[in-house]
Structure 1
Amino acid sequence: MTPQPPPPPPTPASWAWAVFDDHHILRAGAGGLADRATGRKATIDDPVRVASVTKLHVALGVMRLVEQGRLDLDRDVSDYLGWRLRNPAFPDAPITLRLLLSHRSSLTDAADYVLPLGTTVEAHVRDPKAWDAVHAPGTYFRYTNLNFPIVATAMERVTGERFDRLMRRLVLAPLGISGCMNWSGCSTATLARAVVLYAPDGKAVKDDLRGAPPPCLVYAPADGSCDLEAYRLGTNGGLFSPQGGLRISMADLAKVGGLLLRRGRLADGRRFLAEASIAEMEHLHWRHDGANGETEEGFYCGYGLATQTTAQCSTDDLFGDRRPRTGHAGDAYGVRSGLWIDPATGRGIAFFATGLGDSPPKGRSSYRAVEEWLAANLRR
């Protein structure tokens, strides 16, 4: 194996990566400090907030509920929410889970997507800024975090379970994953291994837990209160950050990649999802044609159900070989993360780097140089 060169500047606070096949981690690496205060080194077993890689996991949960007959990708999601979800500019156009998961719902993040305790999704989307007044649902791609609080709210409504617990039951526990949503349900041992997220100046900005769960597991209201017992199920699925709040190690993220490579089978051969459900997630529900969506400077060129596909245009080739991989990228709080599989070779990679700030240097593609540096381990 070719030795890994040093990371591009700025040097991450911590990083880890794991290359895997359908059953095993084949090789891995890590560097930097997961916790600078204690000097604890980063490893592939340390849980980190993987940002939007979370969305792919939410889609896995949705597809399990679809297979159980509790959700339908093409039914008006209003039927699940118990209230009418409509773009005011297009009141006759229904919005479905398929449109929400593929970022074609006509929702935007202009009204924000952080929904504190005490807020409801229904009230939040009354803000006209939450909507694209020009493009009807189903006609235009715009990457929108707000789609996922609505998806999570629908999941709560049809199951009667709080989203964090539902994700544990539907996705994390069956895969043997020790991670959790917003630290809810994580063990003491897992909390002790948390990767602290730092700003470039060294200040801790997230998950400086010091071995204990955060005082409030969700976004608290302005008065600082945090009474989760008062939360009414099915009113605010955004509490546990379905758009980005999963904490998971790279060793565990490799298990998710293995599931995708096995086309929905667990490691012991039992079915987690039908192969057709995995294919539905990966199918390109949107592909950029020059006018049908926002690519964010060529970062998004092909998208499925909470699943990205690389190498769909000249700018989104993370791996630099023009071969498509499927998975998802993450970016928040100075973290860059990714889970990518290559079904043609039966291999994939999970990675993260922290302490990068909002705009680390770009690489040769629309991805950042540090992401390309980490992704290159798949081909070494």
Structure 2
Amino acid sequence: MQRKNAWRLRKALVVVAAAGWAGTAVADTAVAGPPSASPLQRSIDSLVSEEKYPAVSAWVHKDGRTTSLVAGSARLGRPVPVPHDGYVRAGSNTKTFTAVVVLQLVAEGRVRLDEPVETYLPGVVRGEGIDGRRITVRQLLQHTSGLPSYTDHMDLEEFGEVQHRFFHPHDLLATALAHPAEFAPGTGWKYSNTNYLLAGLLIERVTERPVQEQITERVIRKAGLRHTYWPQPGDQTLREPHAHGYALADPRSRKVIDVTEMDPSWGGAAGQLISTPSDLARFARVLIDGRLLPAAQLAEMRRTVDAPLMPGWRYGLGLFSVPLSCGGVYWGHGGDIDGYETRGGATDDGRSVGLAVTALPGTFGDAEEGARAVMESVDTAFCG
């Protein structure tokens, strides 16, 4: 998530954010070896020195070892130690959690993937070229619905003005449905936060319980995530410890503001969660290892279509498949929300990575170069 373009991942490159990565790992965090000699330490140091991210935190598990590394400062303009594995806003990583709950409901026979959304949300999805009777649950989760993204039509570009504003899910949906469909359902692929806003509403309609409760009970607790939570309405804070997050108040003045405290309600089931790099990594590991979904539903989640963001990228149901320079792919998501960008994922052979920076690409330097550098650090974590 990001500001206006933020949620859709800086047009196609910060969608990399959404496509990002999710992280994995199960071992307890411990610094391994001399950080200064590590290729990953050099890589995240360069994110601070060259790309001007205020702080970076990386968590890696591979070859039976777990490593936690940090760089930069937890506060802009003065030296404050960056906490290892501190809390961050997880942004679009939330989508994978939401998708897992929907697929659990599929396994329970309460939802069908190829059933129209209309079955579960009658009369809710209507607009110009938009009809819930023609959009399936699978198309929501795979971003093939053609629904416009509500974040493309909000004033998130002027983030200083909306930082502390509360948004209701139905108002966000109304914003999206006031605009025409991007394409006919099933005929294209485009990342849209509206898909997961609706997935959250579907969960609430089917279970008759709040989506945050269902994600907490069905995913967070089941996966053993001790540092992941859904902030309650009105909670604009981050738990301690954390590095502060920074964003542009607006694109014209280039004024940077502290956005550590903000109302994340515009994220909802598409991006409201708070977590840590290690918890995001653990979540990905547990998911890929088949501990959250039956085999049939995990296989559906990993059935991908082309996601034309970067060469080789593909999207399943709330999950990206991203190629690695050393061969193979990792599975994850990632997230962008003002103040924090998270990346990471898990491979089938047991490697896990979670990485966070405390600003979106373009806040302090060039957006494309900044996004590319973060992805290179993630690749180094997997392949170095």
Higher relative contact order (CA 8 A, sep 6+): 2
Does the CA-based 8 Å contact 1:250-1:350 persist in structure 2? yes
String of CA shifts for 1:127-163, please: whole Å, max 9, x gaps. 1x2522xx31011001111111111011111112222
Q: Give, in whole Å, the separation in 2 of the partners of 1:90 and 1:16.
A: 42
Read off the aligned partner of 2:181 and give its amino acid letter.
W
1:375, CA displacement in angstroms? 3.2
> Paired residue for 1:230?
none
> Paired residue for 1:179?
228
> Paired residue for 1:63?
103
Read off the aligned partner of 1:16 and give its amino acid letter.
S
> Paired residue for 1:218?
265
1:353 and 2:365 correspond: no
Aligned partner of 1:323 among 325, 328, 335: 328
What is the DSSP-based 3-state SS (H/G/I as helix, E as strand, rest coil) of the residue aligned with 1:175?
Answer: coil
What is the DSSP-based 3-state SS (H/G/I as helix, E as strand, rest coil) of the residue aligned with 2:98?
Answer: helix
Aligned partner of 1:342 among 330, 344, 347: 347
Q: Give, in whole Å, the separation in 2 of the partners of 1:107 and 1:245.
A: 20
Q: Give, in whole Å, the separation in 2 of the partners of 1:299 and 1:195.
A: 33
Aligned partner of 2:167 among 100, 113, 116: 116
Q: Give, in whole Å, the separation in 1 of the partners of 2:241 and 2:233.
A: 15
Read off the aligned partner of 2:316 and give its amino acid letter.
G
1:301 and 2:313 correspond: yes
Does the CA-based 8 Å contact 2:123-2:132 persist in structure 1? no
What pairs up with 1:1-380 in 2 under 5 angstroms?
3=38, 4-5=41-42, 6-8=45-47, 9-20=50-61, 26-35=66-75, 40-86=80-126, 88-89=128-129, 91=131, 94-109=134-149, 110-112=152-154, 116-117=167-168, 119-120=170-171, 123-127=174-178, 129-132=179-182, 135-177=183-225, 178-182=227-231, 191-199=239-247, 203-208=256-261, 218=265, 241-262=268-289, 264-265=290-291, 272-284=292-304, 286-287=305-306, 295-296=308-309, 298=310, 301-311=313-323, 319-343=324-348, 345-358=349-362, 360=366, 362=368, 368-380=372-384
What is the DSSP-based 3-state SS (H/G/I as helix, E as strand, rest coil) of the residue aligned with 2:100?
Answer: helix
Q: Give, in whole Å, the separation in 2 of the partners of 1:157 and 1:368.
A: 40
Alignment coverage as a number of residue pairs: 323
Read off the aligned partner of 1:143 and give its amino acid letter.
Y
Q: Give, in whole Å, the separation in 2 of the partners of 1:50 and 1:360.
A: 22
- Structure 1: state its 5+ residue gaps: 209-213, 220-239, 266-271, 289-294, 312-318
String of CA shifts for 1:199-236, please: whole Å, max 9, x gaps. 3778444223xxxxx6x6635xxxxxxxxxxxxxxxxx
1:164, CA displacement in angstroms? 1.8
Q: Give, in whole Å, the separation in 1 of the partners of 2:191 and 2:85.
A: 30
Q: Give, in whole Å, the separation in 2 of the partners of 1:241 and 1:156.
A: 12
Does the CA-based 8 Å contact 2:55-2:358 persist in structure 1? yes
1:349, CA displacement in angstroms? 0.8
Does the CA-based 8 Å contact 1:342-1:348 persist in structure 2? yes
Percent identical pairs in the alignment equals 24
Does the CA-based 8 Å contact 2:361-2:367 persist in structure 1? no
1:63, CA displacement in angstroms? 1.4
Q: Give, in whole Å, the separation in 1 of the partners of 2:180 and 2:155.
A: 9
Q: Give, in whole Å, the separation in 1 of the partners of 2:155 and 2:118.
A: 19
Q: Give, in whole Å, the separation in 2 of the partners of 1:185 and 1:69.
A: 35
Does the CA-based 8 Å contact 1:55-1:244 persist in structure 2? yes
Q: 1:241 to 1:38 in 2, by over 3 A?
A: farther
Read off the aligned partner of 1:179 and give its amino acid letter.
T
1:243, CA displacement in angstroms? 1.8
Does the CA-based 8 Å contact 1:113-1:145 persist in structure 2? no
Q: 1:119 to 1:37 in 2, by over 3 A?
A: farther
1:77, CA displacement in angstroms? 1.1
1:73, CA displacement in angstroms? 1.3
What is the DSSP-based 3-state SS (H/G/I as helix, E as strand, rest coil) of the residue aligned with 2:56?
Answer: strand
Q: Give, in whole Å, the separation in 1 of the partners of 2:234 and 2:269.
A: 15
Structure 1 length normalisation: TM-score? Answer: 0.74
- Structure 2: state its 5+ residue gaps: 1-32, 157-165, 249-253
Structure 2 length normalisation: TM-score? Answer: 0.73
String of CA shifts for 1:77-131, please: whole Å, max 9, x gaps. 111113252563365961112101111001122444989238446644541x252
> Paired residue for 2:24?
none
Q: 1:275 to 1:184 in 2, by over 3 A?
A: farther
1:330, CA displacement in angstroms? 2.2
1:248, CA displacement in angstroms? 0.3
Does the CA-based 8 Å contact 1:45-1:249 persist in structure 2? yes
Read off the aligned partner of 2:167 and give its amino acid letter.
P
Q: 1:204 to 1:112 in 2, by over 3 A?
A: closer
| Higher fraction of helix | 2
